[in-house]
Structure 1
Amino acid sequence: MWSLYGWLFNFIFLIAVISIIGYELMCLTDLEFDYINPYDSARRINMVVLPEYITQAVLCLSFLLTGHWVLCLISVPYLYFNLTLYLQRKHLVDVTEIYNQLSKEKSQRLFKLGYLVILLVLSLFWLLWTIAGEEFD
């Protein structure tokens, strides 16, 4: 039963990271179609970058602590990428360069979203596998 709670805890953090990435993509798309000015867009994105990084780090740590080694190993490169961006001080969007870096920022977040969707599918598969295994015990 505790394994199921661990999976649900991980699932909640995974959905949180996906929703933050979706919000960032929405802000970039609004900027691209000129629905929002660059100052507001950069402020909104920069406001959720650190919560995204922290939530993803907690998710990776949670996978490790609950014994889901494969998912932890799958999420470590994403954590390393975020840590590298943070240490190089490239994690925030610059308001003066946002139009020049718009395609790069969007593609980076789309790649992150795809990575997280693959992690979500694997996590759902193993969650259902765990539920089916406990049902027959």
Structure 2
Amino acid sequence: MADLFAWLISFFLLIALLVIVTYQLMCLADLEFDYINPYDSSSRINRVVFPEFIVQGVLCLFYLVTGHWVMSLFCAPYLYYNVRLYRRREHLVDVTEIFNSLSWEKKQRLVKLFYLVFILFLSIFWMIYTSLDDDE
């Protein structure tokens, strides 16, 4: 039963990550269609970058602590990419360069979104498998 709760917690962490990345994509789409100005868009995106990094780190650490090694390995490339962005100081969106890097920023977040959806489906699969296994 504890394993099922671990999968539920990871499910909610993944949903939180999906919401954060989707919010960033919506801000970039609003900027592209000229609904908001570059300063507001970059400040909104930059406000949720650190929570995204923290939730991703907590999720990867959570998988390690609970003994879900395969899921931890699946989360490791995304965590490595976030750490690399942070160390290169490329994690925040620059107001002055946001229009030049708009397509790159959107592609980057779309790849993150699809990667998170893949991990979410794996998590749902393992959660269902665990719940069926607990009934026996």
TM-score by length of 1: 0.98
Percentage identity across paired residues of the two chains: 60
Q: d(CA) in 2 for partners of 1:69 and 1:120?
A: 16
Q: Encode CA deviations 1:27-59: one digit per residue, 9 max, x unaligned.
A: 000000000000000000000000000000000
Q: Does 1:99 align with 2:107?
A: no
Report the Cα offset of residue 12 of structure 1: 0.8
Report the Cα offset of residue 68 of structure 1: 0.8
**2:51 counterpart letter in structure 1:** P
Q: d(CA) in 1 for partners of 2:131 and 2:73?
A: 22
Q: d(CA) in 1 for partners of 2:131 and 2:40?
A: 44
Unaligned stretches of 5+ in structure 1? none
Q: d(CA) in 2 for partners of 1:133 and 1:106?
A: 40
Q: Does 1:62 align with 2:62?
A: yes
Identify the residue that residue 88 of structure 1 maps to in structure 2: 88
Q: d(CA) in 2 for partners of 1:82 and 1:97?
A: 20
Q: d(CA) in 2 for partners of 1:8 and 1:85?
A: 29
Report the Cα offset of residue 67 of structure 1: 1.0
Q: Encode CA deviations 1:40-97: one digit per residue, 9 max, x unaligned.
A: 0000000000000000000000111111111100100000000000011000000000
**1:23 counterpart letter in structure 2:** Y
Give runs of ≥4 in structure 1 deviating > 4 Å: none
Q: Cα RMSD between the aligned structures?
A: 0.4
Q: d(CA) in 1 for partners of 2:121 and 2:13?
A: 14
SS of the counterpart of 2:35? Answer: coil
Q: d(CA) in 2 for partners of 1:49 and 1:103?
A: 18
Deviates more, 1:59-68 or 1:102-111: 59-68
**2:98 counterpart letter in structure 1:** I
Unaligned stretches of 5+ in structure 2? none
State how many pairs are aligned. 136
